[in-house]
Structure 1
Amino acid sequence: MASDVPDRIVAGRATDRRGDESPFALGLLLRRAHWRAAAVMGEALRPLGIELRHFAVLIVLVNQGPMMQRDLAAETGSDKAGIMRIVDDLERKGLAVRKAVPGDRRARAVHVTPQGVELFDAAHVAAKPLAERLAAELGPGESERLADLLARLVYPGGAEA
């Protein structure tokens, strides 16, 4: 059975290639950039025994303090089951702990441990040379400019989460 899809790419059709002019171009390039950045950052975290998903939770806990699992899920874009597995992993590794919430016998908040903060700091040291490699194709000031543009996309109107 012959395919109705042409063998060539028609102008305006979504691709993730340089020069794509489709309305999906920016999103597709951001997705590819995310994959590349995640791979590089994963490389920095691997020797520390954690994955990017674990580090994403540590970022929230270090920056915002103890938090309920449902709120961690919302902050990291995880679902309930996923965040539970991540917190379980962090607890097994001694990087986080669930503690009772005063005034609510059923609720537990997730806290980062001192070991978790140490690993968080070590991850930043390990990531520095890899982040430089990630931005190697950019010229002077372009990495900062890209970060500014991405922040404006993520936080429209200057609002930060």
Structure 2
Amino acid sequence: MAAPKKTPDRLARLYARPGFLLRRAHQISAAVFEDACRDLGLTPAQFGVLTVLQSHPGLGQSSLARALGFDKVTVLRVLRGLQARGLVARGPAQDNRRNVSVSLTPEGVSLLRAAQRPAERAYQRLMAPLDEAQRATLIDLLQLLTGELEDEARAAFVPPGA
């Protein structure tokens, strides 16, 4: 028995699915950011880690993962890369020696400062096709979607101090 032919209609439905469009938008977002921060050798995940640590020095590794919605393996991989570059330091937490806390090094602070303009350029480039009202609507809809479906996520998102 021959396989059914794929029709343009089926492809149109696939390409209009939110999951497809969100994945594609994420790919584009990452590429735009990485292009803007190429000279700094910084990825979106690394930028996120550095930004959270700037606001919450000494944050535990698990709390850091939750603050970004990362699983523990992902945050560990990102931290190892940042630590190898001398941008973060990991050590025993003050309150519980079995936990690991993470802080920016002076080099990490400097890199994060240098990344602010390129990161903003990347944001502006990503949002350029939208007018101000569309930008606000997009953010509102993404926050609604992620907030309402948070229980479905593979990794918890819990902002520090929440």
User: After TM superposition, is the score higher than 0.5?
Assistant: yes
Q: Give the corresponding residue for 2:92.
A: 100
| Aligned equivalents of 2:46, 2:80: Cα separation in 1 | 10
Alpha carbons 2:40, 2:115 under 8 Å: kept: yes
Q: Does the residue aligned with 2:89 lie in a helix, a strand or coil?
A: strand
Shift in Å, 1:109: 0.5
Identity within the alignment, %: 33
Letter in 1 for 2:143: A
Which of 72, 97, 108 is the aligned partner of 2:64?
72
Which one has more relative contact order, counting CA pairs under 8 Å at least 6 apart?
A: 2
The RMSD of aligned alpha carbons is: 2.9
The alpha-carbon distance between structure 1 residues 14 and 68, as it changes in their structure 2 partners (threshold 3 A), is farther
1:62 aligns with 2:54: yes
For normalisation by structure 1, the TM-score amounts to: 0.75
> Structure 1, residues 83-109: CA drift from partner, whole Å, max 9, x if none?
223212212222111132224333320
Unaligned runs of 5+ in 2: 149-157
| Aligned equivalents of 2:18, 2:68: Cα separation in 1 | 22
| Aligned equivalents of 1:43, 1:134: Cα separation in 2 | 12
Shift in Å, 1:26: 1.8
Which of 134, 147, 153 is the aligned partner of 1:155?
147
> Structure 1, residues 13-44: CA drift from partner, whole Å, max 9, x if none?
8412xxx3xxxx12221111111111101112
| Aligned equivalents of 1:60, 1:14: Cα separation in 2 | 38
| Aligned equivalents of 2:40, 2:91: Cα separation in 1 | 25
1:124 aligns with 2:123: no
> Structure 1, residues 111-130: CA drift from partner, whole Å, max 9, x if none?
12233233223222112233
Q: Give the corresponding residue for 2:4.
A: 5
